Amino acid sequence: MSAQHNPLANGRDQLQNACMPAITIRDVPADTRDLLAERAAASGRSLQQYLRAELIRLAERPDNLAIVTRAQDRVRQAGGGLNGEQILELLDAGRADRT
């Protein structure tokens, strides 16, 4: 039974949402809002549902600093890295293997 047909699910969702913080975004250009509303409709969701999912996806994605930090940690754990000459030699060897 879907949430639309289950009256208990709607009450549960309202209780869950009552415990979550709300975010208000002001000064969104009308054309941006309209485009997001179109995307939401195309995905079969309300604008609020669509934006919530997009915010969660955005928060789960690491930022640039986290990516660089992870890469630096891997280099340290591996005991160093390659110098420029070694990188060029490996690139040349890879090209030679393809011919």
- 66 vs 62: CA distance, rounded Å: 6
Q: Tokens 């250009």 — which residue?
A: 29
Digit-by-digit pLDDT tens for the chain (99 residues) are 444 555 555 565 556 566 788 999 999 999 999 999 999 999 999 999 999 999 999 999 999 999 999 988 888 887 767 788 888 998 998 888 876
Which secondary-structure segment (H or E) carries 84? helix 84-98
Burial class (CB in 10 A: 0-12, 13-18, 19+), 43: exposed
Local structure of 24: helix, strand or coil: coil
E-strand ranges in 1-99 read none
Selection from 28, 55, 31, 51 nearest residue 40 by Cα: 51
pLDDT, tens digit, 9 for 90 and up, residues 17-43: 667 889 999 999 999 999 999 999 999
- Can you tell me the distance from the alpha carbon of 41 to that of 50, in angstroms, rounded to the nearest whole number? 9
Measured between alpha carbons, how far is 6 from 4 in angstroms, rounded to an integer?
6
Q: How much is the pTM?
A: 0.54
